[in-house]
Structure 1
């Protein structure tokens, strides 16, 4: 099959609110009218309620209850609020996905996003908000496969479990392309910044492409730490396998390797969005 066969099933694509797509398209636009964006978020009742519920959670520890998006903007700042809105919009884009534990899927995506933002804060080459968004959607192609062709997605998982193939190898065997390629195609169709799609496509092997992209390297580092957390590896083991060449491409300061203990304990604070 071809990726266009997935994208042609419009009724099965993730349902991302229009204001969230606009917000992502405006990530690198210094002239974006964020007051207008806040107004549009307020007009989307589901998105607004989910965002405000998170803002009022114990994680943020605000001194008083926030009852509007305008108040949230004042209390948190637009930079922080916009990543919450983006996370809220995507976490509700698909429910009851066949063959996929959607709460676990988004929990891991939130953590990768948080880690990507952390690594970007150690770099002069990548904007932290862009890094967060890339981390949030880095696995959107896998979600697309489960939505559009659930039987093939299940066959991919079975092949991984029954063989020594990586996920990318199993995907190519069963559908002829990787979920990273499918994710890039979906993001391009949504007219997201080209850098996001390229980072999603390249992040598994960021050093193997002609057009080396710091954002893809940031994403790779975030996924590496996420895998270390999932495998419960200790800090010393994480440091030993730390991909220094990738970190160099990401523009991450060399001393960051000594701060990986902090990265291993990061919490996204976003899991409440899937409840």
Structure 2
């Protein structure tokens, strides 16, 4: 499904299993005014991605959003994470899982809460994030930064704004910004692999330094992971 007409036709005929570029495209008509919910989300992302934020401030930022803190603790204590003991507070979660991992998961949960977007876009965001993360070891990069690269690559579709405008407002590392905007650096190359596989661009896939069979396996793993996570979030 590559356009609104095709999406509407499928939904009108109660088709449920859909795939295509439609979900990853920003609305053809940009939002004239930024809705309060999107403004609040951007302000939250700015705080979450602040490289100087201290663990206590991070916990306080998450706890200020009651829904976010509830979702985060609920997910961390679910079978999806499989931790050996229950986590009872955001501070405890930061200690157990690490500062950067909590920032990443809080960002994912925040973005997954955008109300007026199809659930398929959320799955695309999760799939991209996970596939980039899995490719980090092949590109000898940092898994958490690769995960963030895949996740934030859908910001334009989630917020109906040019990606460049959104990225410039966030305190992301120069490497992450370059990966998102220019597909440069190791994380950018991984994101390009993901986008090529998503589109079925087999010529580009064959030109990747990562073998096609590895990309295929990683893509399937990422889809399975994203669907499991989405099920957990919907329960």
- Structure 2 length as normaliser, TM-score? 0.70
Question: How far apart are the structure 2 equivalents of 1:82 and 1:195?
Answer: 17
Aligned position for 1:219:
191
Matched, 1:270 2:229: yes
Match 1:24 to one of 34, 39, 49: 49
CA gap of 1:84–1:52, structure 2 versus 1, over 3 A, is same
Question: How far apart are the structure 2 equivalents of 1:64 and 1:227?
Answer: 41
Question: How far apart are the structure 1 equivalents of 2:99 and 2:136?
Answer: 18
Deviations 1:219-256 (A, max 9, x none): 1112334456xxxxxxxxx9x75635444xxxxxx5x6
CA contact (8 A) 2:139 2:186 kept: no
Question: 3-state DSSP class of the match of 1:86?
Answer: helix
CA gap of 1:130–1:76, structure 2 versus 1, over 3 A, is same
Match 1:115 to one of 131, 135, 138: 131
CA contact (8 A) 1:116 1:132 kept: yes
CA RMSD of aligned residues (A): 3.1
CA gap of 1:34–1:41, structure 2 versus 1, over 3 A, is same
Question: 3-state DSSP class of the match of 2:81?
Answer: coil
Question: How far apart are the structure 2 equivalents of 1:63 and 1:77?
Answer: 16
Match 1:51 to one of 58, 72, 76: 72
The count of corresponding residues between Structure 1 and Structure 2 is 201
Post-superposition shift, 1:42?
Answer: 2.5
CA gap of 1:7–1:130, structure 2 versus 1, over 3 A, is farther
- Uncovered stretches (5+) of structure 2, i.e. residues with no partner: 1-28
Post-superposition shift, 1:116?
Answer: 0.7
CA gap of 1:64–1:191, structure 2 versus 1, over 3 A, is closer
Q: How do residues 178-189 of structure 1 correspond to structure 2 at under 5 angstroms?
A: 182-189=162-169
Post-superposition shift, 1:138?
Answer: 0.9
CA contact (8 A) 2:45 2:170 kept: no
Match 1:11 to one of 35, 41, 45: 35
Aligned position for 1:84:
105
Greater Rg, structure 1 or structure 2? 1
Question: 3-state DSSP class of the match of 2:124?
Answer: helix
- Uncovered stretches (5+) of structure 1, i.e. residues with no partner: 146-178, 204-211, 229-237, 248-253
Match 1:243 to one of 193, 205, 208: 205
Q: How do residues 30-45 of structure 1 correspond to structure 2 at under 5 angstroms?
A: 32-45=53-66
Aligned position for 1:128:
143
